Amino acid sequence: MNLRVERAELWHVRMRLVSPFETSFGVEHDREAVILRLRADGIEGWGECVAGAFPGYSYETVGTAWHVLQDFFLPAVIRRPMGSAADLRSALAASKGHPLARAGIELALWDLFGKASGMSLKEMLGGERSSVPVGVSIGIQADAPTLVEVAAAYLRDGYRRLKLKIRPGRDVEDVRAVRKAFPEVALQVDANSAYDREQARSLQALDDFGLLLVEQPLAEDDLLDHAWLQARMRTPLCLDESILSERHARQALDVGACGVINIKPARLGGLTEAVRVHDLCRSRGVPVWCGGMLETGIGRAANLALASLPGFTLPGDISASARYYAHDIAEPTFALNADSTIDVPAGAGLGVEVQLDSLERVAVRRAVVPGATAR
Ligand code: SMG
Ligand code: MG
């Protein structure tokens, strides 16, 4: 089946987080993102580009994504016959980079093709489970006792896996405090590239706490130093920012830079590449899990569908909607089940309905492509 996108709309949204989220690169009080709606043959597909307000996690921001989507990527997609969402790769073959912007369009294409065929995203991707195990990612807190309180509250909510954000100076003592309070809990940490080789000692000290993994300790463009560190630690390293393609994943595994991979469709330029990384890791017996980017209900629905694939053997950073937003922009919202899982949507496409009134309430900027002057 071929579809031709006729028109694209963009909303730049700013949504208040229920609690600020602090990582090694800064603190976010609001989540900014670009929401996309593509129309083709009377169907509409929704996507989310998770680039943030500030280039801390990635060089992409809402500003760069807006520019690249509006001026380059969407014009290359509009009126082009496409047979599947995977055709986005050839549509954008002339351009480099900007995976988060690409993934936003790709997601809207998956939603379109799913609605056109009556298939859920889970079915299209080859997902198997109807609910997926999840955990919660906890930002850096004022001090270790506060961190323990916050962790306790999430455990009371029902989360059975905790991820702690760390940075130099806020690592071993924070982890020790949480481990002491909760000796059995599944625990992992994420440094978002905040360390270098000279600071490796505090990372090595984390070997004492029975962590599931240590995520992205070193620079995103440095597989070799990760391999150096992995050879000096028992805890598996997990790469996030370093892995932008299946090729990166293969090379990271070949050089021994990690033992686990965090799969985020956004960082990989979309779900097509995410499934390729999953398939590679599965064939090599490497565990993967689905990362998170504080998504709205749109991106969260997609992450749940992806995490239902059989190689996702570790809990994802896919928490309940209420952990992030008091009012999400899509329905139904996602709730945590008693066994620390979330149900995978079953409806056609993403299986969620965007609420236009809620979207308009959080929108700070809108655009239509092609614009009024371009026909
Ligand atoms: O979506 O629950 C979530 C956040 C998970 O910690 C999380 N993501 O590096 O893995 C990561 C961070 C990036 C967030 S920056 C917005
Ligand atoms: Mg990470």
DSSP conformation letters of 113-132: HHHHHT-BHHHHHT---SEE
The rounded Å distance from CA 132 to ligand 1 centre is 18
One domain, residues 25 and 107: yes
Q: Is residue 348 part of a domain?
A: no
| Rounded percentage of the chain residues whose pLDDT exceeds 90 | 98
Pair of tokens at residue 102:
């690409």
One domain, residues 194 and 82: no
DSSP conformation letters of 179-241: HHH-TTSEEEEE-TT---GGGHHHHHHGGGG--S-EE--S-TT-HHHHHHHHTT-SSPEEEST
| Distance from the first to the final alpha carbon of the chain | 26
Pair of tokens at residue 261:
């991979």
Nearest atom within ligand 1 for CA of residue 318: 2
One domain, residues 274 and 139: yes
The predicted pLDDT at position 374 comes to: 44
The rounded Å distance from CA 30 to ligand 1 centre is 14
CATH code assigned at 24: 3.30.390.10
One domain, residues 239 and 190: yes
CA 315/CA 135 separation, integer angstroms: 6
The predicted pLDDT at position 371 comes to: 82
CA 166/CA 195 separation, integer angstroms: 10
Give yes or no for residue 240 CB within 6 A of ligand 1: yes
One domain, residues 175 and 63: no
One domain, residues 98 and 130: no
Q: What is the pLDDT of residues 92-146, one digit of tens each?
A: 999 999 999 999 999 999 999 999 999 999 999 999 999 999 999 999 999 999 9
Give yes or no for residue 291 CB within 6 A of ligand 1: yes
One domain, residues 180 and 81: no
One domain, residues 191 and 338: yes
The predicted pLDDT at position 119 comes to: 98
One domain, residues 154 and 202: yes
Q: Is residue 374 part of a domain?
A: no
Annotation says 264 is catalytic: yes
Q: What are phi and psi of 52, to 5 degrees?
A: -100, -170
Q: Is residue 373 part of a domain?
A: no
CA 121 vs CA 108, 271, 298: distances in Å: 11, 10, 12
Mean pLDDT confidence for 31-52: 97
One domain, residues 72 and 147: no
Q: Among 114, 106, 158, which residue's Cα sits nearest to residue 337?
A: 158
Domains in the chain, number: 2
The predicted pLDDT at position 89 comes to: 97
One domain, residues 97 and 32: yes
List the domain range (segments joined by +) for residue 205: 123-343
pLDDT at 76 over 50: yes
- CB burial of 50-66 (b: ≥16 within 10 Å; e: otherwise) equals bbbbeebbbebbbebbb
Nearest atom within ligand 1 for CA of residue 139: 6
Banded model confidence at residue 83, pLDDT cuts 50, 70, 90: very high
Q: Is residue 371 part of a domain?
A: no
Lowest mean pLDDT of 75-79, 313-317, 325-329, 371-375, name the range. 371-375
How many C-beta atoms lie closer than 10 Å to residue 255's C-beta? 14
Q: What is the pLDDT of residues 317-361, one digit of tens each?
A: 999 999 999 999 999 999 999 999 999 999 999 999 999 999 999
One domain, residues 212 and 296: yes
Banded model confidence at residue 244, pLDDT cuts 50, 70, 90: very high
3-state secondary structure of 330: strand
CATH code assigned at 339: 3.20.20.120
